Structure 1
Amino acid sequence: MIYLSGIFITGTSSNVGKTIITTCLTYAFRKRKVDAVPYKPVQCGAITEGGKWLAPDVELYRKVYNPKDDEQLNSFLYEPRFSPHIAAQLANRPIDPQVIKRNYDELHKVHELVLVEGAGGLAVPLIDEHYGTPSLIKDLNIPIVIVTQATVGTLNATALTAHYAQSKDLDIKGIIINGYPDNPTEGVKNNPRMIEKMTGVPVIGIVPQIKNVETRIGEKEVLEKLIEGIDLDKLLE
C-alpha cells in the first residue's frame, strides 16, 4: 500500500543529476510493482526534434517509462536555459501553479506515485521572489528528496539546501548522493556520514558514477547498477 501521492526530487544546484535520479527512481519503483510516473512541471532549455519542441528531461524518462498519449509529463516548456521566472517572462507565458497542481492530480488519478522533478536548485523562483519551488512543493503537499553530488563542496551545498528546506517546513525524506566514484578519496568516503551529522537527514542512496550515463541509462545493466544503493523503503516510510 502506497500512502504517498508523490515525492519531489530537488537538488543542491543545477546539473547534480536530478533527472538521472528521477529516471532511476521511476525504474526502481516500477520494478517493485509500484506504479510510479515521472513528471517535470517546468523545463527550461527545450530541444527541437523533427520541428517539435521537446522537454529533454522527459525524453530521458522515456528510457524507462512509456507515457500514454494523453499524459502530461511536462506543463511549462521554455527555450532558454534560464531561471524559470525569467524564461517565463521572456516567453510571455507565466507559470501557473494551478495548472501544475491539476496536471499532478490527473497523473495521480491513474498512478500510485508521482515523482516530481524540480527545475534547478531548491531556492529557484518560479514566478517571483514570493513564489518559488518551496511554494510549489507546499501546494502539492508532498515530501522531498535532495540530490547532491560526491564532489568537493558537497557538504556546504547539501547542508545549505537541507537547512533552507527545513526553514520552509518541508518534509525531507532523505538525501541521495549522485556520481559516487569507484575509487573515492578519503574526503568523499567521509561525506555521507558527515552530511547526516550536519543536516540530521538520512542519506538514503549512493548512486555510482557511470561514464556517459545519460546515453546508457536505457541499458538494464546500467539501471540495475544505478539503483542498487537506493533504499526505497526509506522513501516509503
Structure 2
Amino acid sequence: MSVLFVTGTGTEIGKTVTTAAIAAAELRRGRSVAVLKAAQTGVGPDEPGDAAETARLAGPVTVSELARFPEPLAPATAARRSGLPPVGPQEIAEAAAKLAASHDLVLVEGAGGLLVRFDAAGHTLADAARMAGAPVLVVVEAGLGTLNTTALTALALRTHGLHCPGVVIGSWPAEPGLAARCNLADLPESAGVPLLGLIPEGSGTLPPDAFRAAAPGWLAPQLGGTGPALPEDAGTA
C-alpha cells in the first residue's frame, strides 16, 4: 500500500489529525511519508493548511497541496466562486503517483466526505482514488448517527469499486457515552471493514513530541501502529 486516500463521513471529523497520526506512526517505523492535500478550502494564501498541520504534528513529511480556495465550501463551489481552476481527479492521481515514486507511503487527504464535488463535471475523491488504484480509509464519528453515515460511505465505496481497509474514529471522547461505547462493536458491522484506530479527542492540541510518541498506540498494525487498545466496556450497554 504505497498510496492511501483518507476521507471522512463529514467535515470537521478528524481527517487531518488521523492523517498526521498515520504519518507519525510510519515515520517512527523508518518509512518515508508524503502528504498530499487534494484541495484546501477556507484558508487564506498565507495561512497554514491541513498539509502543514500534518507536518507540524507528525514530523518530517513531504507536503503538497494541489489547490487552495479561500471560502470554506465544497471544492467545486469554492473554485467557481473564486474564479480559480478546480482540481480534477486525474491531477490528484498523477500527483499521488509522482510522490509514490520517491516515498514509501503517500497519504492523500480529501475535503469533506467521499462524494463532495471537486469540479463542475461532478468528479469526487472516489474518482481520484479509482484512477490511482488506491484504497480509501474512512474517518468516522464516535457517537449517535455514525452507523448510518458510515454505512452510506461504505456503500458508496463499494459502488465505485474501491477497497476500504477499515475505519478510524477521528475523535474518541474522554468520557464516551453509551452510543459511542456500543459503536465500537457495531461500526465494523455497519462498515463491513475493521475498526483500525481510535484517535483521542484533543490530540491535535498535544505538543508534537507527545503526539508522535502516542500516535502508534492509537492505530492498528495495518496503519503502522501497535494498537488500538479498546476500552474494557467496549460494546456494552
Cα pair 1:55 1:77 within 8 Å, conserved:
no
Contact 1:55 1:74 in 2 (8 A): no
Give the number of equivalent residue pairs: 223
Contact 2:169 2:198 in 1 (8 A): yes
Partner of 1:84: 75
Matched, 1:41 2:38: yes
Shift in Å, 1:103 = 2.2
SS in structure 2 of the partner of residue 73 of structure 1:
strand
TM-score by length of 1: 0.86
Q: Is the 8 A contact 2:168 2:198 kept in 1?
A: yes
Alpha-carbon shift at residue 115 of structure 1 (Å): 0.5
The residue that corresponds to 1:134 in the other structure is 126
1:200 offset after TM fit, Å?
Answer: 1.5
For 1:72 and 1:200, the matched residues in 2 are separated by 32
Q: Which deviates the most, 162-171 or 110-119?
A: 162-171
Match of residue 20 from structure 1: 17
Q: CA RMSD in A?
A: 2.1
| Separation in 2, partners of 1:122, 1:220 | 31
Asked whether the equivalents of residues 3 and 107 of structure 2 are also in contact (C-alpha less than 8 Å), the reply is: yes
Q: How far apart are the structure 2 equivalents of 1:167 and 1:160?
A: 10
Superposition pairs of residues 156-175 of structure 1, within 5 angstroms: 156-175=148-167
Aligned position for 2:2: 5
> Which amino acid in 1 is paired with 2:29?
R
**CA distance in 2: counterparts of 1:77 and 1:53, whole angstroms:** 11
Cα displacement string for residues 165-206 of structure 1 (whole angstroms, at most 9, x for unaligned residues): 112111001000121123322221110211112221111111
Name the counterpart of 1:58: 51
Pairwise CA distance, 1:231: 0.7
C-alpha contact (below 8 Å) 1:173/1:234 kept by paired residues: no
1:92-114 Cα deviation digits (max 9, x unpaired): 31223333233222211211110
Q: How does 1:1-237 map to 2 (within 5 A)?
A: 4-47=1-44, 52-63=45-56, 64-66=58-60, 73-92=64-83, 93-128=85-120, 130-210=122-202, 213-216=203-206, 218-233=207-222
Q: Which runs of 5+ in 2 are unaligned?
A: 226-237
Secondary structure of the residue aligned to 2:39 is: strand
State the 1:131 CA deviation: 1.4
User: Unaligned regions of 5+ residues in structure 1, if any?
Assistant: none
Is 1:208–1:226's contact at 8 Å kept on the other side of the alignment? no
Cα distance in 2 between the residues matched to 1:122 and 1:228 = 27
Shift of 1:17: 0.6
SS of the counterpart of 2:10?
Answer: coil
| Inter-CA distance 153–227: structure 2 relative to 1 (3 Å threshold) | farther
Contact 1:143 1:172 in 2 (8 A): yes
Q: Percent identical across equivalent pairs?
A: 26
Higher strand share: 1
For the 8 Å contact 2:39–2:68, the answer to whether it is kept is yes
Runs of 4+ in 1 over 6 A off after TM superposition: none
Change (3 A) 1:32 1:235: closer
Give distance in 1, aligned partners of 2:50 and 2:158.
27
| C-alpha distance 214-140 of structure 1, shift in aligned 2 (>3 A) | same
The one-letter amino acid paired with 1:20 is V
